[in-house]
Chain A
Amino acid sequence: MLKAFYHLLARDLRLAFRSRHELANPLIFFVLVVSLFPLAVTPSADLLMVMAPGVIWVSALLSVLLSLDRLFKQDYEDGSLDQLMLSPNPLVILVLAKVFAHWLLTGLPLVLIAPLLGMFMYVPDEAISTLIFSLLLGTPVLSLVGAIGVSLTVAVNRGGVLLSLIILPLYIPILIFGANAVDVASDGMSVRGQLLFLAAVLALAISLAPLATAVALRITASR
């Protein structure tokens, strides 16, 4: 079972590294959007500092949302998804492997580049670590919850709008707590509560989202 997890993870990572231009898309999107704000709004440190947590979190969220399609689309179109569903291994484990690969390829790069963007946006030094931790806890949830939406819409042509409608309401709590944590940390207060909330949501998402995704995939396949 672990082997199946590892093999699928390795396959997805290998496939992603074979088409690198796609790999860089979410990261470039994230950097571009955040760096446009100082140009469009104002370069003033006071204002940017106030906007920074929200801007960085919204950009990260949209960047993950745009990359979600990649999760199952290709496998659905070339028939590999059927083979995954006919595997003797539990589909939940395979889903978890695919979502983990997705997070490693989209969420993790965002977390790693975030401190730099935080500095662009005058996020105070003491809040940078909170920015990293909130994204580290939040982006896996975005991938996990996103997978449910993608598995429901993968068979729909141009299901992008539908996907956003399904997913965005579920993303909002993560966005609120994530951005709020950075905001509060900038004021030098404790963010224990916000981070614990994000961690709790992550635990919930890891245990339940793959189950929901597996069921949704079976429904999609039976059409």
Chain B
Amino acid sequence: MIDTESGKTALMLETRQLECVRDDRLLFTDLSIKLAAGEILQIEGANGSGKTSLLRILCGLRRAEEGDVYWQGEKVSQVREDFYASMVYIGHLPCIKGDLTTLENIQSLLDTRSQSAPIEEIDEALAKVGLAGFDDVPSKALSSGQRRRILLAFLFLTKAKLWIMDEPLTALDVQGVELVESMLMEHRETGGSAVFTTHHGMQLPCEMSSVTLGKGQGSKC
């Protein structure tokens, strides 16, 4: 059992005895994680150790073979609506439409969450991620790093309590990495939590829990 140091503050996300099997391969079993408010958790592990699968289980896109995910003490399947309103997932796919402008992309992502933000706030978020003045540019004209930055602006605008991020540093430059780090710090200070995976070094000037997957990896079951 892997247990992160649980905080003294409110418990946000919890998993109990999770087991994940993919193509007859046991990726992990008996995985229990506790994530408190203001806690940042990094999932570590080699390629194919089940990091993405774990994140998809955490956000409810994938079903675990065994075990359950709990949001603030309740099973996620029972508080789905509440959980989805407080959680934002950013996968390794960009979810950006090339035919829409930066602004339209952000708005449609927010619409999906039944959220909206005033134009000034979106402009502010775009400025923060270094995309000021790009709001009416079709996203297909942007570089892949810039598209990731659109997602960061979206992440910021959701004001979600829990961020689940799969390789958030993909395609980002050095300033981009620093930006993600500073966003995480800010998020943490306001009581938010985050779970993420990355293969790049991320230095956060704060305590960070970590879970390593891949022990007993590849065993057939």
What is the interface of chain A, defined by CB distance below 8 A to chain B?
A: 3-4, 7-8, 11, 14-15, 18-19, 74, 77-80, 82-89, 94, 221-222
Is B130 on the interface with A (CB-CB < 8 A)? no
Contacts between chains A and B (CB distance < 8 A), count: 75
List chain B residues, Cβ under 8 A from A4: 111-112, 114
Given contacts A77-B93, A78-B97, A222-B63, 16 further A-B contacts (CB under 8 A): A3-B114, A7-B108, A7-B112, A11-B100, A15-B100, A78-B93, A79-B92, A79-B93, A83-B89, A84-B112, A87-B84, A88-B84, A88-B85, A88-B113, A221-B61, A222-B62
Interface-central residue, B63, B80, B93, by most chain A CB under 10 Å: B93
Is B95 on the interface with A (CB-CB < 8 A)? yes
Partner of B95, one of A11, A83, A89, A94: A83
Interface-central residue, B63, B108, B113, by most chain A CB under 10 Å: B108
List chain A residues, Cβ under 8 A from B94: 78-79
Is B81 on the interface with A (CB-CB < 8 A)? yes
A15 to B59, CA, bound (A): 28
Q: A85 with B113: in contact, given A79-B91, A80-B97 (CB under 8 Å)?
A: no
Q: Is B61 within 8 A of A14, CB to CB?
A: no
Give chain A's interface secondary structure class.
helix
Chain A residue at smallest Cβ distance from B63: A222
A77 to B80, CA, bound (A): 25
A19 to B96, CA, bound (A): 15
Give 1 or 0 for each of B48-85: 1 = CB within 8 Å of chain A CB: 00000000100111110000000000000000110011
Q: Can you identify 13 A-B contacts, CB atoms within 8 angstroms? A: A8-B112, A15-B99, A77-B93, A79-B93, A80-B95, A82-B89, A83-B95, A85-B61, A86-B84, A86-B87, A89-B112, A222-B61, A222-B62
List chain A residues, Cβ under 8 A from B109: 83
Q: Is A221 within 8 A of B100, CB to CB?
A: no
List chain B residues, Cβ under 8 A from A94: 112
Is B167 on the interface with A (CB-CB < 8 A)? no
Is B135 on the interface with A (CB-CB < 8 A)? no
B74 to chain A, nearest CB (A): 15
List chain A residues, Cβ under 8 A from B63: 222
List chain A residues, Cβ under 8 A from B104: 11, 14
Q: Is B95 within 8 A of A18, CB to CB?
A: no
